[in-house]
């Protein structure tokens, strides 16, 4: 596939926000960030059902991580309570 250069106009505030996302994300530059966003949106329009499944999978993953973190924190609290009792 040949690369084609495309020029776009976006509001300055949007560009500032995009630059923030590029710095926080794993993007090499602003162009890569834009390509990623366009690719994701293209996928959504081409395969709405698959896109919905992908979003659901991501939501489930995030909820499981949060649940795991909460369980780990609770376990640490219980261990600290046991240590506190041992020190009395």
pTM tops 0.75: no
**13 pLDDT more than 80:** yes
Residue 15's nearest CA partner among 40, 3, 33 is 33
**9 pLDDT more than 90:** yes
Q: In sequence order, which ranges of 25-47 are alpha helices (DSSP H)?
A: 30-46
Q: What is the pLDDT of residue 52?
A: 86
Q: How far is 71 from 77, CA to CA, in rounded Å?
A: 10
Q: What is the pLDDT of residue 84?
A: 85
CB 58 within 8 A of CB 74: no
Residue 22's nearest CA partner among 36, 8, 38, 10 is 36
């Amino acid at each position: 596939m040949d690369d084609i250069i495309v020029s776009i106009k976006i509001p300055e505030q949007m560009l500032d926000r995009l630059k923030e996302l590029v710095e926080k994300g794993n993007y090499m530059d602003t162009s890569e960030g834009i390509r990623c966003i366009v690719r994701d949106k293209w996928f959504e329009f081409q395969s709405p059902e698959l896109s919905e499944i992908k979003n659901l999978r991501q939501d489930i993953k995030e909820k499981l991580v949060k649940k795991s973190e909460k369980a780990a924190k609770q376990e640490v609290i219980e261990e600290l309570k046991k240590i506190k009792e041992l020190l009395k």
